[in-house]
Amino acid sequence: MSSAATTTYVLRGARPLGGEPVDLVLSGGVIAEIAPVGAARAGSEGDGTVVVDATGLVALPGLVDLHTHLREPGREDAETIGSGTRAAAAGGFTAVHAMANTTPVADTAGVVEQVWRLGRDAGWVDVHPVGAVSVGLAGQQLAELGAMADSAARVRVFSDDGKCVDDPILMRRALEYVKAFDGVVAQHAQEPRLTEGAQMNEGVVSAELGLAGWPAVAEEAIIARDVLLAEHVGSRLHVCHLSTAGSVEIVRWAKGRGIDVTAEVTPHHLVLTDDLARGYDPTFKVNPPLRTAEDVEAVREGLADGTIDIVATDHAPHAREDKDCEWAAAAFGMTGLETALSVVQQTMVDTGRLTWADVARVLSSAPARIGRIDAGEHAQGRPLEVGEPANVTLVDPAARRVVDGAGQATASTNTPFQGRELPGAVVATFLRGRATVLDGAPVPAGADARGVRA
Amino acid sequence: MRHLLSTQDLGRADAVRILDTAAQMAATQSREIKKLPTLRGRTVVNLFYEDSTRTRISFETAAKRLSADVINFSAKGSSVSKGESLKDTALTLQAMGADAVVVRHQASGAPHLLAHAGWLDAAVVNAGDGMHQHPTQALLDAYTLRRHLSGTGLTAPGASGPDDAAARGAGLDGRHVAIVGDVLHSRVARSNVHLLHTLGAHVTLVAPPTLLPVGVQTWPCEVSYDLDATLAGDTANGGPDAVMMLRVQRERMSGSGAGGGAFFPNPLEYSRKYGLDARRLGLLAEHAIVMHPGPMNRGLEISAQAADSPRAVIVEQVANGVAVRMAVLYLLLAGSDETDVAPASAAQPVPAVERVPAS
């Protein structure tokens, strides 16, 4: 790590947030200089400087994912912190929040510190563990939220994701309790009784396929309840992977009322619909389920107008046998770290609904702010300005690639975009000035990072 | 036809062809020796993950009457109960050289997966998957309906008897079938709505709103909450020519557990509003028939008077099931894409030699 960390990188001709080309100089872990193309004062090749030809590439602040499943500890056959964070770097991320539904559950200071340390040692991205709201995700008793907040992992995001905190008293107590350390409760909104046995979105397709339906109202009812609870106790609420048009409307109403609520949408809910279930391919089985085209349009609109604050991947890797089976027996979830930026480009940028500056907001600064990792020594989601941490992602928006799950860095292959052509490619990722990806290839910590893009 | 997975995959010509072939098969079943050599040397596996004695026996009988070797594979007490995946079971059947796999599974889509995942070369016949489809049940229902309702005249049960020769090549054009009961959980209803529509019939689904799936308005049928009005003919299609009662799945009706429960207040109220009893039987037209896929809950969705009335063709449905399943297996394993693979009339013998399936 040390040799690469001392390297100075000159990103020649990069376009910060899609703007005019400049030279971005990364040195000493920070953005040392921003200069006109060719005018950077930093040394030339041969004196420890690596010049990266970034002509035509968009420079973004390192991406931050508020919703990643790394599976370790417990399901290392599906993903490890090492493989998952390498996939994150490949996707342009410099920080991820690791969800708590591991085995054991991340509901103690000990487990979150373990995850945090394994992430730090892997060195691909900053790993911020999400603490469970309830012991064992059982929805009965508050987990040791304070101890997790005070641990080395400094947890600020708490979630029983995968399960809904459906008990209104427990949810109220959690919202109140995390105010003591400026935490946020990230809710997986799923009314359990309305979704018993549910397999996919309830609608025309579920009726045809004979799969138990998952009604939109099961999500919307919980979001409506929780925004009112958050208002009542004056706390911060974050809505995980919102997926329906009604959910967008409720969040829009709540924000208009001044309630401190934020919301995320996944890349797959920005583009895929429940029609894909027709082939009974469990790759498309996900929680919340893929919805209708009208819902897809609503979440795009919500993201464009700021109702939805961020895009979060809900990267959910699974071992092959957990997907290579009947729909009803298959696990919920899709991988997403390595395709997220491309899907956002395809659905929001290439359609003119978001600028690259907006992308920096929804995929970096806003998730960092929600997770309270936007300040301090390891600040993420900061602007691309001199003196800021050198967390930078270089994207080639003109590239096109056909997704191949087997060729990705994640240990799992359950990508819903298998065989699809997507725009955009992450050319390089820098974590505090150290290249974790160069020329599209992961660079392990400690490796010689003198790759120069031709 | 490579597989039989869903009635939605059947065009009218395919469906009529199966029904015509079934009629020819049925004719052979009145002979002293019912067995045909048609599928000699072929192996049919009945892969049943869910208990269903009558469907399994029907398929087994059909395959044996065609001289196929039959292997019955029940999930209970098998490698499946030891945790074997569907994929590994399929690979095993592939290695053993199964020519057809008749699969019954509690998971919707499992037959689709078997047919398309690349694990198996055999023809796959869906013998009921979750709440999705039960195509051979729909085909035997359509066959039964056609025997009684097709042609120029309508044949009342117990009258001069159905006329198979007159039915040959026919659909169910203009006929009206009411399907009553738990549509939400019913693969029989899903299968029948599409097949009957394909054959030209009008379908009315009758059920309380809690037992109708969201999205049913997009299906090719009418929907009613009022059984009396439907039977009395207060619909655009007039009174039904047939009433198909669905089993109330008691295991789904409890107040808790999977499915949410509490679909209606109590069995008595259900029976009063949606049960077929002697009074409602009297509302039917002279020629109309009563059907039920079985097993029946007597006294709940159907009274003993209705179940045992001359209008009921429930036992005939079971008999027709064997002929229809013989036809399906024959067409999948020995038929070709030609339209005259089966003899032109019931008087002629069904082919006595194996045929090479179309590549």
Domain identity same for B208 and B305: yes
CB < 8 Å to B86, chain A: 325-326, 329
Instruction: Judge whether B198 lies within some domain.
Output: yes
Among the partner residues B190, B214, B258, nearest to A196 by beta-carbon distance: B258
Smallest CA-to-CA distance from A184 within A398, A370, A377, A379 is with A370
Task: Determine whether the annotation assigns residue B82 to a binding site.
Answer: yes
Task: Determine whether the annotation assigns residue B104 to a binding site.
Answer: yes
Cβ proximity of A159 and A99 under 8 Å: yes
Instruction: Judge whether B346 lies within some domain.
Output: no
Domain that holds residue B252: 135-314
Among the partner residues B87, B130, B219, nearest to A328 by beta-carbon distance: B130
Domain identity same for B123 and B53: yes
CB contact under 8 A, A197 and B259: yes
Smallest CA-to-CA distance from A75 within A407, A413, A412 is with A412
pLDDT higher than 80, residue A415: yes
pLDDT of residue B336: 56
Task: Determine whether the annotation assigns residue A119 to a binding site.
Answer: no
Domain identity same for B270 and B158: yes
HEC profile of chain B: CCCECCHHHCCHHHHHHHHHHHHHHHHHCCCCCCCCCCCCCCEEEEEECCCCHHHHHHHHHHHHHCCCEEEEEECCCCHHHHCCCHHHHHHHHHHCCCCEEEEEECCCCHHHHHHHCCCCCCEEEEEEECCCECHHHHHHHHHHHHHHHCCCCCCCCCCCCCCHHHHCCCCCCCCEEEEECCCCCCHHHHHHHHHHHHCCCEEEEECCHHHCCCCHHHCCCEEECCHHHHHCCCCCCCCCCEEEECCCCHHHCCCCCCCCCCCCCCHHHHHHHHCECHHHHCCCCCCCEEECCCCCCECCCECHHHHCCCCECHHHHHHHHHHHHHHHHHHHHCCCCCCCCCCCCCCCCCCCCCCCCCC
Domain A62-370 is classified in which CATH homologous superfamily?
Metal-dependent hydrolases (3.20.20.140)
Helix (H) / strand (E) containing A204: helix A204-209
What's the pLDDT tens digit per position in A211-263? 999 999 999 999 999 999 999 999 999 999 999 999 999 999 999 999 999 99
pLDDT of residue B253: 65
Domain identity same for B149 and B294: yes
DSSP at A412: -
Instruction: Judge whether B122 lies within some domain.
Output: yes
CB contact under 8 A, B213 and A205: no
ipTM of the complex: 0.80
pLDDT higher than 60, residue A109: yes
pLDDT higher than 60, residue A2: no
Instruction: Judge whether B60 lies within some domain.
Output: yes
CB contact under 8 A, A326 and B107: yes
In angstroms, the CA B144 to CA B155 distance is: 12
Indicate the range of A41-55, A61-75, A376-390, B260-274 predicted with least confidence. A41-55
DSSP at A289: P
pLDDT in 10s for each residue of chain B, 359 residues: 899 999 999 999 999 999 999 999 999 988 889 999 999 999 999 999 998 889 999 999 999 999 999 999 887 766 676 778 999 999 999 999 999 999 999 999 999 999 999 999 999 999 999 999 999 999 999 999 999 997 645 555 544 456 677 788 999 999 999 999 999 999 999 999 999 999 999 999 999 998 999 999 999 999 999 999 999 998 888 999 999 999 997 766 655 444 445 788 888 889 999 999 999 999 999 999 999 999 999 999 999 999 999 999 999 999 999 999 999 999 999 975 443 333 333 334 444 333 333 33
Interchain CB contact of A206 with B (< 8 Å): yes
Instruction: Judge whether B305 lies within some domain.
Output: yes
Domain identity same for B151 and B254: yes
What tokens appear for B272 in the block?
């009063």
Q: What is the largest CA-CA distance in chain A?
A: 66
Among the partner residues B107, B214, B216, nearest to A327 by beta-carbon distance: B107
Domain identity same for B284 and B331: no
Domain identity same for B125 and B151: no
The shortest C-alpha distance from B6 to chain A (Å) reads: 10
Domain identity same for B114 and B247: no
For chain A, where do the domains classified as CATH 3.20.20.140 start and end?
Answer: 62-370
What tokens appear for B28 in the block?
């052979």
Q: Is A322 a catalytic residue?
A: no
Instruction: Judge whether B342 lies within some domain.
Output: no
What CATH number is given to the structural domain containing B266?
3.40.50.1370
Strands (E), A148-188: 157-158, 184-187
pLDDT higher than 50, residue A120: yes
pLDDT tier, A1 (very low <50, low <70, confident <90, very high otherwise)? very low
Domain identity same for B270 and B325: no
Domain identity same for B97 and B66: yes
How far is the first Cα of chain B from the last one, in angstroms, to the nearest whole number? 11
CB < 8 Å to B104, chain A: none
In angstroms, the CA A127 to CA A81 distance is: 9
Instruction: Judge whether B98 lies within some domain.
Output: yes
Please give the C-alpha separations between residue B26 and each of A286, B65, B343, in angstroms, as whole numbers.
46, 11, 12
How far is the first Cα of chain A from the last one, in angstroms, to the nearest whole number? 24
Please give the C-alpha separations between residue B204 and each of A351, B7, B177, B181, B189, in angstroms, as whole numbers.
45, 18, 6, 11, 11
Total number of domains constituting chain B: 2
Task: For domain A8-59+385-442, give the CATH number.
Answer: 2.30.40.10
The nearest alpha carbon in chain B to A277 belongs to B109
CB atoms within 10 A of CB A76: 17
pLDDT of residue A288: 98
The percentage of residues in chain A with a pLDDT greater than 90, rounded to a whole number, is: 93
CB contact under 8 A, A280 and B109: yes
Task: Determine whether the annotation assigns residue A128 to a binding site.
Answer: no
Instruction: Judge whether B344 lies within some domain.
Output: no
The nearest alpha carbon in chain A to B188 belongs to A210
Domain identity same for B115 and B263: no
pLDDT of residue B342: 38
CB contact under 8 A, A328 and B218: no
Choice among A23, A314, A358, A396 that is catalytic = A314
pLDDT tier, A46 (very low <50, low <70, confident <90, very high otherwise)? low
Provide the mean pLDDT of chain A. Answer: 95
| Residues B325, B329, B335: CA angle, nearest 5 degrees | 130
Domain identity same for B290 and B151: yes
The percentage of residues in chain A with a pLDDT greater than 70, rounded to a whole number, is: 96
For chain A, where do the domains classified as CATH 2.30.40.10 start and end?
Answer: 8-59+385-442
The nearest alpha carbon in chain B to A198 belongs to B259
CB contact under 8 A, B109 and A211: yes
